[in-house]
Amino acid sequence: MRLYRREQRTFIDADNFSLRSLIPRWLAVLIGLLGSALGLATNLYSDQFREAITASGRHVETLLFPVLASIVASGSALLIYRWLQERRHEQSEISSGELHIGSDALSIVADNQDVIVGRSLFYLETKRNSGDLLIFLHGLGLDATDFRPYMTESRFHCLALTLYGFNAEEKDDEHYRPISLRSHVQLLGYALQKITLQYPGKRITLVGFSFGADIIFFLMQFAENTLRDLKIRRAILLDPNINLSTTTISSRIADVDMDQPVAELVKLLSSASSTSEFRNLCEYIYKITSKNFAQIQQHAKEVIDLLDASAYDRFLDRMGQLMSATEAVHVVMSFDYEQHFNSIARGAATRGIDIRSLECSRLSHFELIGPNFLKERLEGVLSTEADD
C-alpha cells in the first residue's frame, strides 16, 4: 500500500514559470557564474580592457566600457537571483494527496458498524532532505491546511493529515458518515502505519494540536499495539484537554442544537477574552460550519466523556502511558492553562515524570499553531537530533 499523490501545487506565478521553461537551470547557473567572473575581471584588469578597447577605436571606449560593465553586472545578478529564487520556491513546494483505506484497515479498526473501506484520508506534504518526518494532527473540525504556513518554511519533512470526515468536500457525502472516536483513533493508527512503511528509516515525530493532541493520547487506549510497533521518536502535544474545565470549545459544540445552531455558536464567540481570540474563534466557527457538523459534534461529546471533571489523574496517566510507548513526550500548554500548570507539574513529579516535559507558554490557544511558534519549538527540540 502506497500513498497516492493527488495533485501538486507550488508558490510560483505563471511569469516565473515561463522564464524557467525558456532557460534550463544549468544554463542559467553557468551564465550567471561566467557573467560574475567577467564582471570581476573588468574590475581587476580595467586598464587592460581599456587598452584593448583603445586599440580598436578611442571614441568607442567612452560608450562601450560602461555599457559592457552594466550589462555584465545586471545580467549575472539577475540570473543568480532567479536561480536562488527558484531554489527557495522548491523548498516551499507543497503537494496534496490521499491515503486509500484498504480492507487491511479492518485488522485495526474493530467496529463493524463504521464503514470505512474504500474511502480515503487526505494530506498535505512537503518533502525535505531530512531524517525527521513530522506528522501533524489538527484540532476539532479543522484540517491539514492549518499547518500549511509552517510547512512552507520548515527544514523538516512534514506531512499534515486531515482526519476522517473533516474535509469540506465530504460534508454532504453519504459515504463519509460519522464514525466513533474509537474507530477514528484506530484509523489514525492505520494511517501512521502506512506512512512509516512509506518512509522507512525516518525519525517520526507526532505533533497534535488540541483535539489532535487528545487522539495521540487515545492511541494508547484504542490502538496500543499499533502505536508501540510504530516506535515513534517523539510526541509533541499542543494544548491537549486536561479535564472538563479546558473543553470550552468542545463543550459548546457538544451542546449545539443541530436545528438551531446559531445561538450556541454565538455564545462560543462571547467566551473570547481578547480581540485576537475573538478573531481566531470567528475563523474557527467559519471553518467548522463548512464541515460535517454531526461528525464534529460526535467527537466533541465522546472526548468529554473520557475526561475527568476537575482532577488531573487521567491526563497524567495518559501522559505516562504515552511516554512508555515513545522515546519522548513534550506537552505545551497555552497561557489559558496557567491556573492548572503548577498542580499538573507537581502531580507529574510525584509520578516520576520529568517536569521539563511540560511547558506553559505565553500564547493563546490558536497561536500555538502559528508558524513562528512552531518553527521556534519544533526546530529547537529536533535540530540537534536531526543533525546526529
Pair (272, 218) in one structural domain? yes
Pair (142, 288) in one structural domain? yes
Assigned domain for 9 exists: no
Residue finishing a domain among 90, 118, 139: 90
Pair (259, 366) in one structural domain? yes
Assigned domain for 7 exists: no
Pair (282, 176) in one structural domain? yes
Please report the pLDDT score of residue 50 as a whole number.
57
Q: Alpha-carbon distance 96 to 148, whole Å?
A: 11
Q: Where are the alpha helices (DSSP H) in the chain?
A: 14-22, 25-44, 46-55, 58-91, 148-151, 181-198, 211-222, 224-230, 248-254, 262-270, 275-288, 293-305, 313-325, 338-350, 371-386
Cell numbers for 284, please give them.
Answer: 474557527
CATH number at residue 151: 3.40.50.1820
CB of 159 closer than 8 Å to CB of 125: yes
Assigned domain for 1 exists: no
> pLDDT tens-digit profile of 300-347?
999 999 999 999 999 999 999 999 999 999 999 999 899 999 999 999
Assigned domain for 159 exists: yes
Pair (83, 170) in one structural domain? no
Please report the pLDDT score of residue 80 as a whole number.
46
Q: Which residues of the chain have pLDDT under 70?
A: 1-92, 383-388
Query: Range of 312's domain?
Result: 95-386
CA–CA distance from 158 to each of 137, 219, 342, 380 (Å)? 11, 21, 33, 16
**Look-up of cell digits 482532577:** 311
Pair (68, 103) in one structural domain? no
- Report the number of distinct structural domains present in the chain: 2
Assigned domain for 6 exists: no
Pair (83, 100) in one structural domain? no
Assigned domain for 330 exists: yes
Pair (65, 116) in one structural domain? no
Please report the pLDDT score of residue 11 as a whole number.
37
**What is the three-class DSSP state of 312?**
coil
Q: Alpha-carbon distance 100 to 88, whole Å?
A: 31
Return the amino acid letter for 249: I
Please report the pLDDT score of residue 10 as a whole number.
39
Pair (19, 34) in one structural domain? yes
Please report the pLDDT score of residue 153 as a whole number.
92
CB of 92 closer than 8 Å to CB of 2: no
Assigned domain for 3 exists: no
Q: Alpha-carbon distance 46 to 323, whole Å?
A: 68
Please report the pLDDT score of residue 240 as a whole number.
97
Residues ≥6 apart with Cβ < 8 Å to 61 = 50, 53, 54
Pair (144, 27) in one structural domain? no
Pair (111, 42) in one structural domain? no
Assigned domain for 4 exists: no
Pair (276, 364) in one structural domain? yes
